[in-house]
Chains A and B, each alone.
Chain A
Amino acid sequence: MDFYVLSSTFLYITFFVYLIATAFFGMTLGNNRDENKKSKATKLAMTFTIIGFASHLTAYIFRWIEAGHIPVSNMFEYITFFGLMLVLCFIVIHFVYGIPALGLIALPIAIVIIGYGSMFPQEVSPLVPSLQSHWLYIHVTLVGLAQAILAISFIAGLLFLIVKIDQTVRNKETTWLEIIIYAVLSTVGFIILSTGFGAMDYEATFIKESDGYQYEVEYEMLALFQPSNSDLMTEDRFNSGIEAPSWMQGIDAGKKLNTLTLSLLAGLLLYGLARLTLKGKRIGAYLQTKFGKINPDVVDDVMYRSIAIGFPLFTLGGLIFAAIWAQEAWGRFWGWDPKEVWALITWLFYAVFLHLRLTRGWHGKKSAWLAVVGFVIIMFNLIVINLVIAGLHSYAS
């Protein structure tokens, strides 16, 4: 039996089941529906969420069996694990607090995260010697869990902002909320583009000259920007002739810039379509009317509680266990590698969050904005540090 194929199949199923669950969560909204209908929809939504989680977990376990080691050793595996933990946290939170509106944010975010992770190479890779340690199981999984719990605070914060921001006039807060929504849509855009071009087997090869050497750069998407100092080799491929700025470092800089720009454009298209459908209304304003009345005190509590749990776990997994592993592998527990620095930044940031909240009374909207920034830092550490700023922890090729 090919566990690899099984695992991928289950991941596909997961994806769709989560979509169904999201749709049911959508039905819990609206002011006109009566409580009975709402609670029925919630029950169905949670049932599908749990089925989806079971399928997700199955996919994960099959992959584990196939690889023979815990699948947290590259971007695809780690992001899948992060998504798994995020849904788990949401399920737990739901049974404690029971806020269905949270599901309507948590699941789409989880879907986008899993979708994003699936765009990375999915082959089961062997463990290089530096990863052959039981600390891989402890350090990476604990960081994944802690980050997922911290992400719940972002989700609660986002819900809080959607409900509480003054949408009567355009202001700084409404603009930033739209930017967050736009960022999520751009990620969706990236997933659509990657999947679409992938289905077409799109390939355009450029030969790039750098320091007297020639490199082949393969584009899997339409080339809006070609690498600096390069020529298109594949025939019949669109080429704008615009080169990426030469000051951008790295052989793949042009490709990365191209993907980013295309994703942002796709996001803009999706965002524009959404605004058109809403007759120009801000998406945040539309969501506010839909999300109706929720108890802000409870959402605020979810936000704080998830940081109160996530912060110590992150300290343990992301700093203490990380340091112990580093000491065991390299004989130095701290080395100012970019990933380490950003783990410290994450830790300091949430320390600031807790100080402002516990000693200066930053509750509500202020806290919610901080929770959003915290999540941005986590995503930055996961994506930008791995893909752009290479270091010891750089997983992705």
Chain B
Amino acid sequence: MSDQSIRCECGHLNKEGTILCEACGKPIEGNQHIDGNDEKHVLEMRYEGSARRSQTYKRTFVDKTWAFFSSVKVGVWLIVITVVLSALGTVYPQEQFKNSPLPSSQFYAEEYGFTGQIFYQLGFHNMYSSWWYITLVALIGVSIIIASIDRYVPLRRALNNQKTKRHEVFVKRQRLVSKDNQLNEDDVNKLRENLKSRRYKVYEDDGHIMAEKNRFSRWGAYVNHIGLIIILLAAIFRMFEVMHVDDYVWVREGETRVVPSTNQEYYVENTGFVYEEYDPETQEQFSRALEDVEEPVPKNFQTNAVIYRTTEETLPGQEPELEEVTRGEIRLNQPVTFDGYALYQAGTQLEAEYDSMSFDVQLNDEVLGEFTFYSDEAPPEFHLEESDIMVSVDDWYPELEFTENGPSSFSKFPRNPGLIFSVENPDTGDSERFFYLQEDIIPLSEDNELVMNVTGIDRRSASGLTVKKDNTLPLFGLGAGIFMIGVVQGLYWYHRRVWIHPKGEGIYHIGIHTNKNWYGMKQELEKITEDTNVQEFEDQQELK
């Protein structure tokens, strides 16, 4: 490569493919077409006319790949394709939101007809986790990396090598110029002073003056791209199961359950579930809105939770020994956290289960005794001490349903409990049977002399909690932070340079470059040239 390098007349050795000499800025013959300087008067200063690999080497496969990905045009097309596909993916719900027992192969066709069928067959129902969508995002990532390196490295070298003394052509072909100014020493001193007061760093060499400020703004684009790369890396890490926990647990009121995905280390107890609704009576400002809706508007879903940790290794079957770690009220927007895990309020089964049912037994209007059946304990019999009689539980159906074979239980959860009792009649010594169902007692024989009543019912709610832990969050946060810094750095500061070029005999050309915001630059120039004989600047590239 070095044999291809180009020595400028100023003596600086430039790399192959350099467009403007890094030191003096003189256009290097034969390379002007690369930045299009051959067709317009104003020099292209975006990358300082530095030698970019993508613009210089185009022979091998590697060169071509590099050139492809370093192109902003290609990057923009990749983004446009991603945008269009992403938008198409929202036409119908994604599979995870489809909220239907039908399998996807039927759901989309049945719900949305022919277009739904196409949506499904193109795989759009799982778009954002599909291999092609991920590939597209990955290609954008590659494009960001290559495009950034391709520009950053030569740009940095060019800015480090720039000399105060520039070639006349370079100065005159800047976008904003003021040519052939007749300036005396006072004018030049005033300019220098003004530039300094506007926080320019002023360099001088042999009568040439260069003033520069905010060069760091040129790195903003590369900083924000680093932020994006970190975010994409975090997304890649997150694909590995070990990096995050995503689980779900139902806990009934009063119940203590192991928190899944914590290696049986943590337990959660639901000490009570709170559900509140908005009341139009007490909150008058909402009365207009609450009148319109048929369903009450929920105000709060809250699980009062206690988190425990096992104190030592528990053998299977052994009751674990627990110590309290933390306790708190889990609400929407208010998870309880412990050791990097977080429990979120996610679902409720409001008073869906029967915790206990209380009964009394009477004979001839005289109460023989009372007892309470706790669903979780489900004892086989009760002894009524007052009258010394036995109540035995013949059958227990937590979720009662009637099948061809008679009553049976659909599940082990007491959602619709059914009980069959036998009670011995102290007078006759006979056993009389009763069926408890639907919160009522039905005597199973017309001859029953005893009377059984339901005296109390206690329902309980179950709370659905999601268990989350995400080790990639700090990385996402870091990426987002760096991105924001880079964007602000690049957009709100402007890299500005002023070259004051002596032609001799008190004649000066002044050339201006700013990487953006020419409008602001022009305003600043008025301040810089205040009280001097500098003529008006010519914008050689105004929008017509």
| B484 & A312 in contact (Cβ 8 Å cutoff) | yes
**In the bound complex, what is the Cα–Cα distance between A311 and B496 (angstroms)?**
23
Asked if B402 is at the interface of the complex by the 8 Å CB criterion, the answer is: no
Q: A348-B79, A348-B82 are in contact. Are A249 and B111 (CB under 8 A)?
A: yes
0/1 interface trace, chain A 324-343, chain B, CB 8 Å (1 if under): 00011111110011100110
Also in contact, A297 and B344, with CB within 8 A (given A327-B473, A336-B94, A355-B76): no
- Chain A residues in 8 Å Cβ range of B517: 301, 305
Q: What is the bound-complex CA distance between A151 and B128, given in angstroms?
A: 29
Q: Number of contacts between A and B (CB, 8 Å)? A: 139
| Chain B residue contacts of A338, Cβ below 8 A | 90
Does B80 lie within 8 Å of A344, measured CB to CB?
Answer: no
- Known contacts A132-B333, A312-B491, A341-B90, A124 near B286 by CB under 8 Å: yes
* Contact with A330, one of B89, B113, B344 (Cβ below 8 angstroms): B344
Which residues from 110 to 128 on chain B have a C-beta closer than 8 Å to any C-beta of chain A?
111-113, 128
Partner of B487, one of A135, A315, A327: A315
Stretch among B55-63, B289-297, B351-359, B447-455 lining the A interface: B289-297
CB pair B487 A389 closer than 8 Å: no
Bound: A65/B295 CA distance, A = 26
- CB within 8 Å of A: which of B460-506? 466, 468, 470, 473, 476, 480, 483-484, 487-488, 491-492
Could you say which residues of chain B place their CB within 8 Å of the CB of A337? 97
CB atoms of B299 and A129 under 8 A apart = yes
B516 interface residue (CB < 8 Å to A): yes
Given A312-B488, A312-B491: A352 touches B285 (CB 8 Å cut-off): no
- Known contacts being A123-B292, A124-B285, is A328 close to B72, with CB within 8 Å? no
Interface size (A, Cβ < 8 Å)? Answer: 60
Q: In whole angstroms, how far apart are the Cα atoms of A348 and B332 in the complex?
A: 30
Residues of B within 8 A of A389 (CB): 90-91
Going nearest first, the 6 A-B pairs with the smallest beta carbon separation are: A331-B468, A123-B289, A125-B289, A133-B333, A123-B288, A129-B332
B301 at the interface (CB under 8 A from A): yes
Whether A129 contacts B473 by the Cβ 8 Å rule is no
Contact of B333 among A121, A129, A360 (CB under 8 A): A129
Given contacts A329-B332, A356-B76, contact A129 B301 (CB under 8 A): yes
* Contact assessment for B476 and A333 in the assembled complex, using a CB-CB cutoff below 8 Å: yes
Contacts of A358 in B (CB 8 A): 221, 516
Q: Which residues of A contact B492 (CB under 8 A)?
A: 308
With a cutoff of 8 Å between Cβ atoms, the chain B residues found around residue A391 in the complex are 97
> Which residues does chain B contribute within 8 Å of A323, judged by CB atoms?
476, 480
B335 at interface (Cβ–Cβ under 8 A)?
Answer: yes
**A382 close to B (CB within 8 Å):** no
Q: How far, in Å, is A150 (CB) from chain B's closest CB?
A: 14
Residue of B nearest to A344 (CB): B86
Docked Cα-Cα span, A336 to B298, in Å, equals: 26
Kindly state the separation between the CA atoms of A191 and B86 in the bound complex, as whole angstroms: 32
Interface string of B314-333 (1 = CB under 8 A from A): 00000000000000000111
Q: Is B364 interfacial (CB 8 A cutoff)?
A: no
Name the CB-closest residue of A to B276.
A129
Chain A residues, Cβ within 8 Å of B543: 296-297, 300, 363-364
Answer yes or no: A395 CB below 8 A from chain B CBs: no
Question: What residues on B are CB-neighbors of A297 within 8 Å?
Answer: 518-519, 542-543
Q: Is the CB of B332 within 8 A of A126?
A: no
Bound-state CA distance A228–B77 (Å) is 42
Query: B96: shortest Cβ distance to chain A, in Å?
Result: 8
Interface check A199, CB cutoff 8 A: no
Contact across chains for B344 and A331 when beta carbons are under 8 A apart: yes
Whole-angstrom distance from the CB of A300 to the nearest CB of chain B?
6
